[in-house]
Chains A and B, each alone.
Chain A
Amino acid sequence: MTEDTRVPYRIRFARLWEARFISHLDLMRAFMRLLRRTGLPIYFSEGFNPKPKISYRTMPLSSGHTSECERVFFQLMEELPETEVERAFAAAMPPGLVLDSIRRVRSAKKDENPPKAMQYYIYFTDAADGIGERLLRAARDENVQMEVLDMETAAVAILLEKGDSSEFIKNTFPFAVSAATPVGNDYVRPDRIVEKVVDPEKIIIHYHRRKEIIRQSQKR
């Protein structure tokens, strides 16, 4: 092996309730420090100010939003088993970031399964005034697939904090929709659609990134 062996890995993790109030930049910083805490042989960039080489592969998450599907690519200087890398990460994760999985990938540059769309669950503290109808109409105008969620399903998805019950979620947010927005040039931030219809000063809205939809063909 030469000195600049670089082995690419991909981590998937969730950003939960207690870590939702940090900006994307702060999350990146937190991730750099997380990498260092793992004690793994991280590959650093060259130059005056060496940094771990990472690439954040999901769309930046807005402050306040939660997510189950954040993906970051990073590189190690040696080939290590996925389980060993996972163990090191699990011990170093900060509160609110929860490890899902780590995979050895073929390339740090090319995404083998680029997501086609992003699915959000969007929660509302008030369902009055036929919000649902108006939301669905606004989504159709923007080519975003939206449907009303049944609250049993919706509540489970953001049972994120220890001690919260699905009753609490259902009491807080009596209404929720799911929205799938295409990634790429057609990407529409879900809050842009929602805020056309709902005044965030009056109703509390919570955005949760539920999953990345990898291949649209899956729907067949």
Chain B
Amino acid sequence: MTGKELRKKIELEVLPRVRKPGRYAGGELNAVVKDTAEVRLALCFPEVYEIGMSSLGFTLLYHYVNELGWAACERCFAPWPDMEQELRGRALPLYSLETFTPLSEFDIIGFSLSYEMTFTNVLTMLDLGGLGLRAARRPDSAPVVIAGGGCSVNPEPLADFIDAFVIGEGEEPLMEIMEAARRVKAAGGGRPEILEKIAAVEGVYIPSLYETGTGENGRCTVSGTPPAPYPVMRRYVRNMSNSYYPSKLILPSINAVHDRMSIEIFRGCAQGCRYCQAGMIYRPRRERDADFLIGNVKEMYRHSGWNEVSLLSLNAPDYSQLAHLLDGLSEFATPRRVSISMPSSRIDTFSEEVGEKLRLVRATGLTLAPEAGTQRLRNVINKRITDEEIIGAVASSFAAGWKKVKLYFMIGLPTETEEDVLGIAALIKRLTAVAGKKKSGRKRGKPDFTLSVSNFVPKPHTPFQWEPFEPVEKLFGKQRLLRSVIDRRHVKLDFHDPHRSAMEAVFARGDRRIGRALEEAYNLGCRFDGWSECLDADKWRQAFSRAGVDPADYAHTPYKPGSRLPWSHIDCGITTKYLLIERAKAMRGDTTESCIGNRCTGCGLDCDTND
């Protein structure tokens, strides 16, 4: 069946029968469709279209690869179970949105992994794409399956299913992989030869080239001998200032989660929050040039007509050119009624001047992430803000006319006591009091607080990577406690499901054996585990027991500092020594300053951005 025939069949027989058919139809403005190419890459996002199309890394790589005249990059997203069933019922393969080509006919399949709970969807896509689950059983004629993204810093749970992982930022290594595939194909080679070539690309980890051993608690560890590079070094873009950024972005035809112009103002973060994996694995902090970004937004607007521009980074107020950027953007945006937003801000670096600029076009809410309720615990996690700063930020944002405040907290953090949990409620009480106070001559609307309370999940390559995940019953207890003491007339409380967080912990800290449970769960029908309506705890229990894996052991057993961890063969450039020093400081309640404008904190990266 040709792509055109498959397309007709899908459009006529399948799409009228599924929910949100726009997810599977393609044909968006600015999508890149190439009839011929020397190397074809299917970029796969193991979530629904609306989420995948909102991923910055995914769209960036899509357009970047398509800049190559000789390569084609097409997209594929995880089918919702209704679509999966329709495809299976008709024995139709999973296909790319650009040319309706089955995944099995591509040269390279590239998964973008940003969340552990999408792993069963990876298996769905491999299976429906006609590739088979296990890498070792794929024939030489099959495409090379690669994967990258945030989750690849602990690739082990997926190691049996993926041929090669790209550790770190994808732009450079993906280009090198495409080049290698081009040369191999021109010489008549296929999958084994491509794998052999890309083994030499820095940042590429091919699990089949490594030996496994048994570490502490019976965990599976990985070691390598030459020519396999050991450890595998994370790749990152050295010079970010004018690094590629697309300006003619695909316009999702159905409403994406982030349906707007997103611009990445910098990568990495200097704050050093100790629970935060992104804050460690994307170091060093590298800024893009403000004038480049302003020009980019103008182009993006011309090609899209989006009415909002969003400044993406791990902590926007840290951006050294922020005032200049906001001036340049509002000059363009204001007359066009385009709004500017800036999620994820640390209060200690947030100035009123910036708030005023953001308010120019559209009043939005204030989002703050104190993460912990007491100063003591905030010091432990290195979130260096005081109650007074939080209260001040909320007061000034209400004074400026913003009526919505969203606050993020975590429970289950290392060293947390009941006092810390009650501290969240006490802080909220002070905040609602401040927000409700009337200023002379000015009427305030009712304050609107949303409190999102998540469960701390220890992540690899952070100072808390050795810590256990807190028992689920204890987390439920803390949720009950908060519910009983917070006045919910003014505050909307939003809790994360501790069972789902526990699963995240298993996959985040897991080893290669977890992959067996993943396969069992997939076979039992687990899909979209990140969606509360889809996560099936019973099936997962069954899957773990069939695989002989005790999830409680994986979630709750601490790792011993100094021991080999399931991800010890991956080197993110941050030294274990630094992580241990940070851990010790955490336990003492000592903070570490941001490395912007301060002394180098010695994380181990050879970084010249803050000399």
Contact = CB atoms under 8 A, between A and B. Distances in A.
Interface of A: 17-19, 21-23, 25-26, 29-30, 32-37, 39, 44, 48-51, 63-64, 92, 94-96, 125, 163, 172, 200-201, 204
B446 interface: no
Given A21-B22, A64-B16, A64-B21, A36 B255 contact: no
A33 B22 contact: no
8 contacts: A19-B27, A21-B21, A21-B253, A23-B22, A23-B254, A34-B305, A36-B305, A39-B302
A49 B362 contact: yes
Interface string B7-33: 010011101110001101101110000
A169 B394 CA distance: 62
Contacts of B17: 201
Given A22-B254, A25-B255, A26-B255, A33 B337 contact: no
A50 B307 CA distance: 9
A204 B15 CA distance: 11
B27 A95 contact: yes
A172 B8 CA distance: 10
Nearest to B26: A18
Contacts of A49: 339, 362
Contacts of A51: 307, 337
A207 B8 CA distance: 16
Interface string B447-481: 00000000000000000000000000000000000
B21 A63 contact: yes
Contacts of A92: 305
Given A125-B12, A172-B8, 15 more contacts: A19-B253, A21-B25, A26-B253, A29-B255, A32-B305, A32-B307, A33-B304, A35-B305, A36-B305, A48-B362, A49-B362, A64-B16, A94-B28, A201-B17, A204-B16
B15 A64 contact: yes
A22 B22 contact: yes
Nearest to B12: A204
Contacts of B304: 33, 37
A200 B16 contact: yes
A147 to B, nearest CB: 24
Given A21-B21, A64-B21, A94-B29, A204 B307 contact: no
Q: Which 4 A-B pairs have the closest CB atoms?
A: A33-B305, A36-B305, A37-B305, A21-B21
B363 interface: yes
Given A36-B307, A37-B303, A48-B363, A18 B251 contact: no
Contacts of A125: 12
Interface of B: 4, 8, 11-13, 15-17, 21-22, 24-25, 27-29, 251, 253-255, 259, 301-307, 336-337, 339, 362-363
A155 B17 CA distance: 23
B396 to A, nearest CB: 19
A21 B253 CA distance: 9
B27 A36 contact: no
Nearest to A52: B337
Contact of B302 (A19, A32, A34, A37): A37
Nearest to A44: B337
Nearest to B363: A48
A34 B8 CA distance: 27
Residue from the set B13, B24, B255 with the largest chain A CB neighbour count within 10 Å: B255
A63 B302 CA distance: 28
A33 B249 CA distance: 13
A50 B21 CA distance: 30
Contacts of B301: 36
Given A30-B253, A64-B15, A200-B16, A36 B336 contact: yes
Contacts of B255: 25-26, 29
B495 to A, nearest CB: 30
A53 to B, nearest CB: 11
Contacts of B12: 125, 172, 204
A50 B255 CA distance: 19
Contacts of B251: 30, 33, 94
Contacts of B362: 48-50
Contact of A29 (B11, B27, B259): B259
Contact of B22 (A34, A36, A63, A94): A63
A194 B21 CA distance: 21
Nearest to B259: A29
A139 B365 CA distance: 52
A30 B252 CA distance: 9
Contacts of A48: 362-363
Nearest to B18: A21
Contacts of A94: 28-29, 251, 253
